[in-house]
Amino acid sequence: MAFVAATAVIGVLAVKFVKKSSKRYIVAGKSLPLFFIGTMLVSEAVDGNASLGNVSLSASFGFWGGAVIPLGLAICLVLTGAFFGKRFNRMNMITLADFYYRRYGNVTEVMSGTLMSISFIVLVAGNLGASGYILSVVLGIPLIYAMLISTAVVLLYTYFGGLFSCAYTDILHIYLAVVGFWAGFIYFIGPWSPIPGGLETIVANVPGNFMDMSGLYDTANGALINWASIISLGVGDIVALDFMERVFAADGGRTAQKGSYMAAGLTLLILIPTTMMGIIGLTVEPDVVKADPYTLYPIIAIKHMPAVIGILMLVSTISCGMSTANGGTLAIASVLARNMLQRNFVTRFLKREKLTDKQLLLSTRLFVIPMFFTAFGLGYLIPRPGIYLIFAFDIVLAGCVVPLIFGTYWKKSTSSGAVASIVVGSVLRLILFILITNAAPTDPMFAYAGLDTIIPPLVSLPVFILVSLATQKRNPPRHDVVYLIPNDSDVVTGADVKDWVNPIDVRQVDRNGHRGAV
């Protein structure tokens, strides 16, 4: 509890860096160096959602059932660094929904913003649930009280410090987590292992197909679901509000790119120790695996490890979970305040002046409060760490990924194509959720689990291309916006592209930094 309290204090003190600026509150004023960006981007891989999810899934379904989480997240970080980091940081945006607005207009902005917000409520719910599970085991209190503690702490420092609070708490937690995971794994397989025979005994106690490669090619051993999870995280997570929030916060495009690669490396570094912790659980706590695998991680840390290692694992995972909840809720609140309230409700519906910088800051802070308690309610009523992480990006993979990727690289992308793609992909995902995702194990449709993730984006892709090609004249593409950099004043007020004052066109800036006319 002392560590959690210290995290809260550090997070609240970060308010001094906000300086009453909405841009500094939401994306740290685009001022963070490589070490901060790389560290913050890896938090989603070591938070409660990922750690408890990985351990519980690997204990229940085998090595690859859990390993898909860090593997998928690492793939996403590599793709982000290779294809989006520099471009998106350069565009001077404060929310990912800004891209959909600039490229496709208000309707697509609202549709994508709504889906991304729903996605992240699910993600935050998983992290609050994971933090609650750990605290409930450590403190011996009911889950609801444990979740209330973690929710109150994160709400406090998110409200005051914004993304700065995430930055200054992550730099400690992430590396403690990496050390803790490896120390715990080495402890169990080393000569001092409390398990006679160490690794040999651990491997001998698991079902034959739990540790082999069949989890990647045998559908009877979950290969279809595993690949669907990798795709959901590896591609769907590109449309992650908190990932891109950190990309936008980098002090330059190269920093955003290198930070993504750095985070990918750190994520792969923890793949083996976290996944193997679930496999170890089959030996040390087989009854817990059967009864409640979500409590396996904290029980192993408390009952079977030296106190120092157990504390490292628990406090770092709790703190990283709160960090992701911080970034996720801040991202949702930013979309609601900026893309829904400021640009659409106030300006388009009420026909009033856009919110000022201070009004946008206050609105974002106020939206943080109901979003936290919405996620808390979901996380308590249906606590599913790990599964929520994957499902969160299923939502945006279905409808939002294709317009984002093609809007960045295909000049003929149109707003009509984006709307059609989002609608078709999302509706199809909902139908497949009812038919497949929600099917009981005895239902014949259960055998197709995994296709419910893969099919929607594959269908939305040709829909996007065909509708875009058919609407070139009715909705002329706005591809030039990906090369334009607005000034900070236009960014904060959410000005329309046509109203930007002296934007920089990167196509007309030479290698010496001299700009031509736009």
List pLDDT tens digits, range 302-342: 999 999 999 888 887 887 778 888 888 999 999 999 999 99
CB 89 within 8 A of CB 258: no
Residue 518 banded pLDDT, cuts 50, 70, 90: very low
Q: Which helix (H) or strand (E) holds 506?
A: none
Which token pair is 273? Answer: 């120790």
Residue 409 predicted with pLDDT over 70: yes
Q: What pLDDT sits at residue 50?
A: 81
CB 369 within 8 A of CB 152: no
**What does the angle CA 473 – CA 478 – CA 479 come to, to the nearest 5 degrees?**
120
Residue 80 predicted with pLDDT over 60: yes
CA gap 78, 427 in Å, rounded: 29
What values do phi and psi take at 123, rounded to 5?
-65, -50
Q: What are the percentages of helix, strand and coil residues in the chain, rounded to 5?
A: 80, 0, 20
Q: What pLDDT sits at residue 27?
A: 95
User: For the residues 348-371, what does the mean pLDDT come to?
Assistant: 92
Model pLDDT for residues 232-275, shown as the tens digit of each residue: 999 999 998 888 999 999 999 999 999 999 999 999 999 999 99
Residue 349 banded pLDDT, cuts 50, 70, 90: confident
Domains and CATH numbers, the chain: 2-337+364-380 (1.20.1730.10), 400-485 (no CATH)
Which token pair is 401? Answer: 């990924």
User: For the residues 428-432, what does the mean pLDDT come to?
Assistant: 94
CA gap 439, 449 in Å, rounded: 9
Residue 70 predicted with pLDDT over 80: yes
Residue 514 banded pLDDT, cuts 50, 70, 90: low
Which token pair is 434? Answer: 């009812």
Residue 211 predicted with pLDDT over 60: yes
Q: Residue 353: how many CB atoms within 10 A of its CB?
A: 10
Within 113-216, strands assigned E span none
Q: Which helix (H) or strand (E) holds 186?
A: helix 143-189
CA 457 to chain centroid? 19
Q: Which amino acid is at 366?
A: L
CA gap 214, 210 in Å, rounded: 8
Which token pair is 470? Answer: 């058919």
Q: Residue 312: how many CB atoms within 10 A of its CB?
A: 21
Q: Which amino acid is at 140?
A: G
In the DSSP assignment, the letter for residue 496 is -
The more confidently predicted of residues 385 and 465 is 465
Residue 176 predicted with pLDDT over 50: yes
Q: What pLDDT sits at residue 398?
A: 93
Q: What pLDDT sits at residue 516?
A: 46
Cα dist from 325 to 40, 50, 374, 469, whole Å:
12, 12, 12, 40
Residue 1 banded pLDDT, cuts 50, 70, 90: low
CA gap 29, 164 in Å, rounded: 9
Q: What pLDDT sits at residue 512?
A: 55
Cβ neighbourhood burial of 172 (10 Å; 0-12, 13-18, 19+): middle
Which token pair is 196? Answer: 């006679």
CA 153 to chain centroid? 20
Cα dist from 62 to 57, 205, 316, whole Å:
7, 12, 25
Question: How many helices, marked H, and strands, marked E, lie in the chain?
Answer: 25, 2
CA gap 427, 304 in Å, rounded: 47
CA gap 174, 319 in Å, rounded: 9
Q: What pLDDT sits at residue 517?
A: 41
Model pLDDT for residues 96-115, shown as the tens digit of each residue: 999 999 999 999 999 999 99
3-state secondary structure of 282: helix
Model pLDDT for residues 279-303, shown as the tens digit of each residue: 999 999 999 999 888 889 889 999 9
CA gap 402, 467 in Å, rounded: 13
Q: What pLDDT sits at residue 515?
A: 55
Q: What pLDDT sits at residue 459?
A: 98
Nearest to 267 by CA among 389, 117, 132, 401: 389
Which token pair is 332? Answer: 């949702």
What values do phi and psi take at 287, rounded to 5?
-70, -35
Task: Round the average pLDDT of the chain to a whole number and report it.
Answer: 90
Task: Determine what percent of the chain is predicted with pLDDT higher than 90.
Answer: 64
